[in-house]
Amino acid sequence: MYLVIFPEGTRYNPDIPKVIADSQAFSMKEGLPVLKHVLTPRIKATHVAIETMQDYLDAVYDVTVAYENTTTQTGQRKEAPSMTEFLCKECPRIHINVERIDIKDIPKEQSFMRRWLHERFEVKDRLLTEFYEATEPENLNKFPGEGHVAKLSLKKTVPPLFILAGVTAGMLCTETGRKVYMNTWIYGTLIGCLWVSIKA
């Protein structure tokens, strides 16, 4: 079972400095270290998800993503590329750092989990600071440590694309399929929101 959570609540975007300033002000107010390259994480959804799914999880994967060519000449970060920009190769590479954390190493109590989560984001912030601001040119646009280049072949990507397109087109071509598609989308979203609000 997999669940993806973005504890920040929204994307880090240097073009919206108010969000970054509010996040940093919240950290200061709470006595937490101020983060530069990530937003302050929020604990509620993370705590609910881990608490609810703890019997089904053996680990949490902490994933940090950084994009090449997303700094200005002066070293200021730019907004992360959109999917279109990425596919048009305006961002030549993405760098992904993954760390596996055993579920038993994550505090269960919300206040302790909150501190643990912020510490994880401090690690992310250090990684991104090194990535975007390394003083040595050979370390710029790199995460520390040994890297691995992953290439996707067409035979791994094209068949799933055709399967997804075929299933979606098949559903949308019939009245019943459209109803199922829309009902799944609408009611799935509503039930998911209701479930999260009940558990929160």
Residue-number span of the structural domain to which 84 is assigned: 1-150
Instruction: Please report the pLDDT score of residue 91 as a whole number.
Output: 76
Q: How far apart are CA 124 and CA 61, in angstroms?
A: 13
Residues 105 and 180 both lie in one domain: no
Claim to verify: residue 92 and residue 137 sit in the same structural domain: yes
What's the structural domain count of the chain? Answer: 2
Compute the average pLDDT of residues 186-196.
Answer: 85
Query: Which percentage of the chain shows pLDDT scores above 70?
Result: 98
Q: What is the pLDDT of residue 20?
A: 94
- Per-residue pLDDT band for 33 (boundaries 50, 70, 90) equals very high
Same domain for 99 and 193?
A: no
**Average confidence score pLDDT of the chain:** 88
Q: Does one domain contain both 107 and 124?
A: yes
Asked if residue 120 and residue 87 are part of one domain, the reply reads yes
For 64, the enclosing helix (H) or strand (E) is strand 59-67
Task: Give the pLDDT band (50/70/90) at residue 1.
Answer: low
**Shared-domain flag, residues 56 and 4:** yes
Per-residue pLDDT of 110-166, as tens digits, reads: 999 999 999 999 999 999 999 998 888 888 888 888 788 877 788 888 898 999 899
Give yes or no: residues 67 and 117 share one domain: yes
What is the number of other CB atoms lying within 10 angstroms of the CB of residue 157? 9
For residues 118 and 163, state if they share a domain. no
- pLDDT tens, 36-73? 999 999 999 999 999 999 888 899 999 999 998 888 87
Pair (136, 157) in one structural domain = no
Q: Which of the two residues, 150 and 24, has the higher pLDDT score?
A: 24
Residue 101 confidence (pLDDT) above 80: yes
What does the buried/exposed string (b/e) look like for 127-155 if buried means 16 or more CB atoms within 10 Å of the residue's CB? bbebbbeeeeeeeebebeeeeeeeeeeee
Residues 88 and 165 in one domain: no
Assess contact for 66 and 131: CB atoms under 8 A: yes
One domain, residues 189 and 106: no
Residues 41, 20, single domain; the answer is yes
